Amino acid sequence: MASKSVSQEADDILLASSMITLGARLQVLEAETSLSHDRLARLYREIRGCSPPKGMLPFSVDWFMTWLPNIHSSLFYNVYSFLNARTTSKGIRATIDAYRLYLENAGQESADAEPVLSFTRAWMLVRFFDSGMLQLSPCRQCGGHFIAHAHDPQSDFVCAICRPPPRAGKTRAAAKARAGSRSAPLATAAPT
């Protein structure tokens, strides 16, 4: 039995801790560290205060093609590509750093709201790119690079920002949020 380095184990624990804090699933932790399933589950319970979620990881590139997830995923992946190419952050550390930057810039309505792109989906996105299932395609109107299926024609690609679907942003939750934001300034006015 090969003995494991104490410093390597400490690095794995720190890496797993930062991924758990960002919302990584147990399968992601197992793939990226050399810690045992039991140790990772204990660490997860210690940090999050609950058992890790069970079930399979999301495995569909089609989720990244719908309009809002495409915008958020494209933002994340462009940051990840930049960090991976131009900084010392590589691999999973670049994924963690890019996801933190994504969370800072994603513009969540409230601190309690779930981000559109979870850490696990961001990790899967990087794996989909590494396996050649997805590509970045330049939008012919704005010039931004957005996620598209690999080997799709790129000449007439228009992104979801330049051509949003007709009902984009018209959900019940969005209407409720707009109604709440309109009444909030009136409710917070100080009495005279």
pLDDT in tens, 183-192: 545 444 444 4
* pLDDT tens per residue across span 83-101: 999 999 999 999 999 999 9
Give the chain's end-to-end CA distance (angstroms, integer). Answer: 76
DSSP string, 102-146: HHHHS--SSTTSPPSS-HHHHHHHHHHHHTTSEEEEE-TTT--EE
Q: What are residue 135's DSSP bridge partners?
A: 148
* pLDDT tens per residue across span 135-189: 999 999 999 999 999 988 888 899 989 998 887 766 666 666 666 655 545 444 4
Read off the pTM: 0.82
Band the pLDDT of 1: cuts 50, 70, 90: very low
Would you say 50 is a known binding-site residue?
no
86 CA to centre of own chain: 20
